[in-house]
A and B are shown apart, each in its own frame.
Chain A
Amino acid sequence: MKHASCPLSRLLRIATLSALLGMPLAHAADDYSEITQLLRAGKAQEALVKADQRIAANPRDPQLRFLRGVAQADTGKQADAIATFTKLTEDYPELPEPYNNLAVLYANQNQLDKARAALEMAIRTNPSYATAHENLGDIYAKLAGQAYNKALQLDATQANSLRPKLALIRELFSADAKATASKVASSTRAPAPAPAPAAAPAPAATPAPAPAPAPAPAAAPPAASAAPAVATPAPAAPKAAAANSAEKDVAKAVHAWAAAWESQDMNGYLGAYAKNFRSQNQSSRAAWEKERRERIVGRAKITVGISDLRVHVDGDKAQARFRQQYSSGSMNVSSRKTLDMVNQGGHWSIVRESTGG
C-alpha cells in the first residue's frame, strides 16, 4: 500500500480547515505550518512526534489532530490514522475532510463500502467538496469493476481493471489539492516546473470541477491540463490500429490454415503450425504429421467452415477461437476450436490446437 502515504500528504487541507473553523490562532498557525513542512519533506515520523507534543497541550485542536492523522497514515499506522479521523468526524461532523481521508484509508484496505459511506457523508456535509466527489467516482468505478468481474466470473487477480483506477486516484487527489489549496499543493509536487506559489485565496467552496481556480497560478495549469488532454487519445489510436491489424493478420492466418486443409495442401497445412507445435495426442512431431497426412490426403472433398471467429492478440501471442464446421464425405462435425498462435517473424503460427470449450 505504497499509495497510501502519498495521496494523503497531498491532501493536507490546512487553509480549508482553518477557514472553516474560523479560529486561526497565531501561535497555533506556526505549529501547523511546521508540522506541514515536516510532512511535505517526507519526515512523517518527526511530524508525528511534533503533532503529539502539540496535542498534549491542545488536546481538542482539530487542525493538529487532522495533521496527526495524516502523519499516522504516512508512517504506516493505518489503524491509528483511521481512529484519529473517525474521532474527528464524531467531534466535527460538519467537516468533510476527515471523512474524505477516512475514505481513502478504507479504500486502501479495500473496504470499499465503508469508503463509499464516508465519502457520501463528506459530500452531505459539503456538497461542493470536489475531492470527495472525485474520490467517490473512483470508488464507484472500483465497485463497478468488482461487479463486472463477478458478472463475467473473472478472478480479481486476473482482471487488472482496477489498477489504472488506483493510479487515477492518486492523480485526482493531487489535482484537487492543487485546485483548492494551491499553495500547499504546488510545493508538494516539488519537481514540477514551479508554478507561482501564490497563496491563492482559493476558498474551499470553489467547486473544483469548474476550471475556475486556474487564474491564480497563471498560465501554468491550463498548459498542463491541455497537455494530457491531447496526449491521452494520441497514444491510444496507433496502439488500437496496430492491434486491429494484428487481429486481421491472425484471422487471415486462420483462414489460410483452413484453406490449406480444405485443398489438402499438406505443405501449407503443416506450415501453418510452428516448429515447436506439439499435438497433445502424438508423441512426436513426425508421428503427428504422419497422422495428419493420413487423415487429410486422399479424403473425399473436405470443407472446413469457420464461423464466430474471435481473435485476441496480446503482443506476439494470439488466441483464435471459432466454430469449425468440418465435413468430408458423410462425415460432418461441428466443434469449437481454439488455436494459440505466436508471431514468428511477421508470420502467425499455431503452437497449440484444442477442441471444445
Chain B
Amino acid sequence: MPLSPFPFGHALATAVMAGLLAAPAAAAQGEKKARQPSGKKAQRKPARAEAPLRDGDAERRLLEIYRLTAEGHARQALPLAERLVRDHPNFQLAQLALGDLLAARTRPVGRVGDVAMPPPAAAARPVPAQIPGISLASAAAAPAPQALPPAAIDTLSDLRAESRLRVDALKARPPQGSIPAQFLELSARTRHAIAMDASRSRLYLFENTDKGLVLVADYYASVGKLGTEKQAEGDQRTPLGVYYITSRLDPATLKDFYGAGALPINYPNPLDVHRGKTGSGIWLHGTPPSQFSRAPLATDGCLVLANPDLERLLKTVEPRTTPVVIARELRWVKPQALQAERQSFHDVLEAWRSAKSQGDTRRLLGFYAPEFQSHRNQDLQQWSQALQAEAQALQGRAVALKDKSVLRWTDSSDTMVVTFGEVTEGTRTGPVKRQYWTRKGARWQIFFEGVIG
C-alpha cells in the first residue's frame, strides 16, 4: 500500500523529470529490444554487483533514476539514487537527484536541483491546528527562500547544464553505423579513434574493426572555461582540430587534480603552428578526488572525463596512432558517403607518390605549397634540396605508401592530415611520415611534411 505521507509527493517529482526526459522516453523506444529484457535486471543489478569503476556506469544509473522518476516511480528511484550516491559520493549530479527525490516527499519539486525552499512549503503542511505563537515564530524563519551563496548558484546552474547534456546524449544518439566525417580513411594500424563534440560535451570512442569504425562508448566530457577554438596560451579554450594522442601519463607521476591519468595530444599541430596558435599541454585527463565529473565548461583547455571513463581510454587506446578529432559539432555520415571524397584524394596522393617514385623533382615540388615548412623548420627552398638528395638516393626505385590514414579538417580552410609508412621498393619498412595538405581551389598542396617515427 502506498504510504505516501503527502499526496503531492510523487506526482510532483514526476512533473520535474518528465520535462527532462520527455523525449528520451521516445528515444528509448528505439532501444527497446535492448532495454526491455534488461529493465528488471537493471533494478536488481546495482544491488548485487556494485562495480563503481565501470566506465559509463554512473551515468547509466543516473539516467535510469531520471527515467523511473519521469515515469512516476519516484519511490523506486529513491533507493537507486541512494545507492549511486553511496558508490560515488563525489558525483554531484547524483547528490542533486537524491536531494530532489527526497525533497519531493515533502514539498513540490519544480525542476532539477530545486534547492531553494519555496515559501509555500511551510503553509502547504496539511496540519490544521497551530498555535499562533509558535507558528509565527517559525513562519518568520522558514519561508524565506534560502539565499544560496553566489558560488553555489553557479554550481547549481552548471549541474543543471551537465544534467541536460547527459540526458540529451541519451536522446540524440549518433545515427546507427555512421561516423564523424573527419575520419576519411583509417589504416588497420589505427586500432581506435576518438571524436569530441564540444557542443554536446560528449566524447566518442571508436574501434577500428575490419568492418570499419564502430562506436563502442561515449562519455560526458568537459572543455575549456571559455569554450573552444583555442588561439593562445592561457585563453582557457579547447583547441578544435585533428590531433593524435602522443603518450600515456601514469597517474602516479601526476597531481591528484588529473585523476586517473592523462593522454596528451599534439596541440599545437602543424596547422595550428601555421596559424600562429600558441599554448601547450592539452591533455585528456581525469577528475580530482572531490569531483566525479566537472562542469561542461570547466577546464583550462583540456578535455576532462570522469575517472572510470578515462581509465577505459587509458586501457584501450594506443599513443601515436590514435587520432582525436575535436569539433564544435560533429557531422555524422555513413562511411559510404565518404567514398567519392576518399577516392578523389587518393588520386592526389597517388600523383604525388608517382612523381616521387620517378624522381621527377620539378613535378614533385609542384605538390608543395609556397608557405611550406618541414618539421625541422626548413622552408621550401631548403626542402627542395632535400627532395633532390632524396631522389638521388632512391635511384629511380618506386616508393609505396603503407598503412595510410587520412583525416579531413574543414573550417575556414580545408586540410588533409595524411599519415603513412613510406616504403622504398626492395625494402620492407620505411619511415612513418605525416603530411598536412591544404586545398587551394581544386588543388591540394602540402604545407607540412615530417617523419614521425
Which residue of the partner chain, among B1, B89, B127, B128, contacts A134 with CB atoms under 8 Å? B127
Per the 8 Å Cβ criterion, residues 219-237 of A in contact with B are 221-222, 224-225, 227-229, 231-233, 235-236
**Given A152-B155, A310-B150 in contact, is the A164-B99 Cβ separation under 8 Å?**
no
B130 within 8 A of partner (CB): yes
B137: chain A residues at CB < 8 Å are 167
The CA of A124 and the CA of B132, in the complex, are separated in Å by 32
CB distance from A202 to the nearest CB of B (A): 11
Q: Is the CB of B136 within 8 A of A141?
A: no
B90-115 interface code vs A (CB 8 A; 1 in, 0 out): 00110110111111011100000101
Per the 8 Å Cβ criterion, residues 147-203 of B in contact with A are 147-150, 152-156, 159
**Given A140-B103, A228-B123, A321-B150 in contact, is the A171-B135 Cβ separation under 8 Å?**
yes
B37 within 8 A of partner (CB): no
A30-47 interface code vs B (CB 8 A; 1 in, 0 out): 000000000000000000
A172 within 8 A of partner (CB): yes
B96: chain A residues at CB < 8 Å are 147-148, 151
CB distance from A145 to the nearest CB of B (A): 7
Q: Is the CB of A211 within 8 A of B102?
A: no
B95: chain A residues at CB < 8 Å are 147-148, 150-151
B122: chain A residues at CB < 8 Å are 168, 232
B49 within 8 A of partner (CB): no
The CA of A350 and the CA of B156, in the complex, are separated in Å by 26
The CA of A78 and the CA of B85, in the complex, are separated in Å by 30
The CA of A208 and the CA of B290, in the complex, are separated in Å by 44
The CA of A209 and the CA of B127, in the complex, are separated in Å by 5
Q: How many chain A residues have a CB neighbour from B under 8 Å? A: 69
The CA of A175 and the CA of B135, in the complex, are separated in Å by 9
B252-284 interface code vs A (CB 8 A; 1 in, 0 out): 000000000000000000000000000000000
A235: chain B residues at CB < 8 Å are 139-140, 143
A189 within 8 A of partner (CB): yes
B139: chain A residues at CB < 8 Å are 228, 231-232, 235
**Given A151-B95, A319-B150 in contact, is the A227-B132 Cβ separation under 8 Å?**
yes
B369 within 8 A of partner (CB): no
CB distance from B88 to the nearest CB of A (A): 11
CB distance from A203 to the nearest CB of B (A): 16
- Size range of the chain B interface in the assembly: 35 or more
Which residue of the partner chain, among B5, B85, B147, contacts A136 with CB atoms under 8 Å? B5
A172: chain B residues at CB < 8 Å are 125, 127
CB closest residue in chain B, given A228: B135
CB distance from A172 to the nearest CB of B (A): 6
**Given A170-B134, A170-B138, A211-B128 in contact, is the A138-B92 Cβ separation under 8 Å?**
no
Q: Is the CB of A140 within 8 A of B127?
A: no
Q: Is the CB of A144 within 8 A of B135?
A: no
**Given A147-B102, A164-B141, A231-B139 in contact, is the A213-B132 Cβ separation under 8 Å?**
no
CB distance from B75 to the nearest CB of A (A): 12
B6 within 8 A of partner (CB): yes
Q: Is the CB of A140 within 8 A of B105?
A: yes
The CA of A171 and the CA of B137, in the complex, are separated in Å by 9
A312 within 8 A of partner (CB): yes
**Given A161-B117, A168-B142, A225-B129 in contact, is the A174-B155 Cβ separation under 8 Å?**
no
Q: Is the CB of A163 within 8 A of B141?
A: yes
CB closest residue in chain A, given B5: A133
A271 within 8 A of partner (CB): no
Which residue of the partner chain, among A152, A167, A210, contacts B115 with CB atoms under 8 Å? A152
A137 within 8 A of partner (CB): yes
The CA of A130 and the CA of B129, in the complex, are separated in Å by 13
The CA of A171 and the CA of B105, in the complex, are separated in Å by 19
Q: Is the CB of A134 within 8 A of B5?
A: yes
B127: chain A residues at CB < 8 Å are 130, 134, 172, 175-176, 179, 208-209, 225
CB closest residue in chain A, given B6: A137
Q: Is the CB of B102 within 8 A of A144?
A: yes
CB distance from A295 to the nearest CB of B (A): 20
A130: chain B residues at CB < 8 Å are 127
B5-16 interface code vs A (CB 8 A; 1 in, 0 out): 110000000000
B148: chain A residues at CB < 8 Å are 152
Which residue of the partner chain, among B134, B144, B149, contacts A154 with CB atoms under 8 Å? B149
CB distance from B81 to the nearest CB of A (A): 8
CB closest residue in chain B, given A208: B127
Q: Is the CB of B129 within 8 A of A236?
A: no
A217 within 8 A of partner (CB): yes
B441 within 8 A of partner (CB): no
B226 within 8 A of partner (CB): yes
CB distance from A299 to the nearest CB of B (A): 22
Which residue of the partner chain, among B102, B128, B140, B143, contacts A143 with CB atoms under 8 Å? B102
A332-346 interface code vs B (CB 8 A; 1 in, 0 out): 001000000000000
**Apart from the given pairs A130-B127, A158-B149, A321-B154, 11 other A-B contacts in the complex at a CB distance below 8 Å:** A134-B127, A136-B105, A144-B102, A146-B99, A147-B85, A174-B134, A176-B127, A221-B129, A227-B130, A232-B122, A312-B153
The 3 closest A-B pairs by CB, nearest first: A147-B99, A221-B129, A133-B5
Interface, chain B (partner A; CB < 8 A): 1, 3, 5-6, 85, 89, 92-93, 95-96, 98-103, 105-107, 113, 115, 117, 119-120, 122-123, 125-144, 146-150, 152-156, 159, 226, 290
Q: Can you sample 11 A-B contacts with CB below 8 Å? A: A134-B125, A136-B105, A161-B115, A168-B142, A171-B135, A174-B130, A175-B131, A189-B131, A225-B129, A227-B132, A233-B143
